[in-house]
Amino acid sequence: MPLHGLSSITVGVPNIADTRNYYTEFGLAPEPDGWLSTRDGGRQLRLVPAATRRLVEVVVRAEHGDDLDAVADRLNRLSVPVTCDADSVTALEPVAGFRAVVRVAEPVRQAPVPAASYNGPGRFERLTSRAPAVLRTGPVRPRKLGHVVMGSTDYEATRRFFTDGLGFKLSDEITGKGAFLRCSTDHHNVLVLAAPVEFLHHSSWQVDDIDEVGRGATAMLEDHPERHVWGLGRHHAGSNFFWYLKDPAGNFSEYYSDMDCIVDDQLWTPEAIEGAKGLFSWGPPPPPSFLRPEDLAGLMTGAHQTG
């Protein structure tokens, strides 16, 4: 497809040093200029000063310059002002006001990770040896930024901005409340939620497998149990394993693995999901603070609270 994934996000926080330390411990590599990098995606998270936590910028990868022209034309038809240069198109999302940049960039190249060998009833793929995952000792390092989830007070307008403007495609939706949108073969790269205030709900970071999801979260919680939000579980929309934690600014961050891959649009039918089914297939039920973060009232009034 003309778009092929998220390049980076910029997040405003009131406590940069603490939040940067959190994401370094989460497994992102700190760069001298302040960026944080993943193993395969490179520089994918930037933190900037802000009075309250907020999404400042989303950068999307495009294949060719012609794709930028198409994005600019679609945004113009939505009456969204655009700024164009040789390799990018920039626009402000009209509801939340974050910057959306579509930039010509190479796709993320990922070397295949060998599939884990699982024994099962009548099937023995691993003989006379321990599972390799239990022998891992190194820190978990995310492979790439997978998706970002945002709340919008005008859900339909923000959804149109991504689909009719930028060119994202619908994968699934929570009827009247959320849209899982993709700009790559991943099931979703953006989830737009109806909300009482514009805010960043979470960013999601790919790791190799379910063992890395568990290892990463366990390490993050060892000395900071208050970081736990929700997990371990498996989503229905996207099918991915998940575990959610909370950074010092109040944003959620997710380790995920095993996301649905949509390579042929004709073979995928978006599902209208009702109730809690879209949230999880199995695992503990989501806590109220996941559905409605505790600082939303403060964000609505311009105050800031951290958990």
What number is the average pLDDT over the span 276-281? 80
> pLDDT tens digits for 161-202?
999 999 999 999 998 899 999 999 999 999 999 999 999 999
pLDDT on residue 115: 82
What number is the average pLDDT over the span 64-86? 96
Residue 288, in any domain of the structure: yes
What are the CA-CA distances from residue 194 to residues 158, 159, 174 (Å)? 9, 10, 10
CA 204 – CA 98 distance, rounded (Å): 18
Provide the mean pLDDT of the chain: 94
**What is the residue range of 195's domain?**
3-107+141-301
The residue assigned the tokens 């709340």 is 151
pLDDT on residue 227: 98
- Please tell me the total count of domains within the chain: 1
Residue 135, in any domain of the structure: no
CB 55 within 8 Å of CB 9: yes
Over 60: is that where the pLDDT of 306 sits? no
Tell me which residue of 96, 102, 101, 100 sits closest to 50, measured CA to CA: 96
Over 60: is that where the pLDDT of 114 sits? yes
pLDDT on residue 172: 97
pLDDT on residue 287: 95
Residue 176, in any domain of the structure: yes
pLDDT on residue 274: 83
CA 277 – CA 289 distance, rounded (Å): 18
pLDDT on residue 175: 87
Over 90: is that where the pLDDT of 9 sits? yes
pLDDT on residue 277: 67
CB 96 within 8 Å of CB 161: no
Structure confidence at residue 19 as a pLDDT band (50, 70, 90): very high
CA 200 – CA 149 distance, rounded (Å): 6
pLDDT on residue 305: 44
Residue 41, in any domain of the structure: yes
CB 246 within 8 Å of CB 231: no
pLDDT on residue 307: 39
> pLDDT tens digits for 21-68?
999 999 999 999 999 999 999 999 999 999 999 999 999 999 999 999
Structure confidence at residue 304 as a pLDDT band (50, 70, 90): very low
Residue 8, in any domain of the structure: yes
* Secondary-structure breakdown of the chain: helix, strand, coil percentages, each rounded to the nearest 5: 25, 35, 40
Q: What is the CATH number of the domain that holds 205?
A: 3.10.180.10
CB 203 within 8 Å of CB 253: yes
pTM of the model: 0.95
CA 184 – CA 255 distance, rounded (Å): 19
pLDDT on residue 117: 84
CA 58 – CA 103 distance, rounded (Å): 11
pLDDT on residue 173: 95
Residue 115, in any domain of the structure: no
Residue 53, in any domain of the structure: yes
Which tokens is 223 given? 């000395």
Q: If DSSP codes are grouped into helix, strand and coil, which group holds residue 122?
A: coil
The answer to which of 189-193, 239-243, 273-277 has the lowest mean pLDDT is 273-277
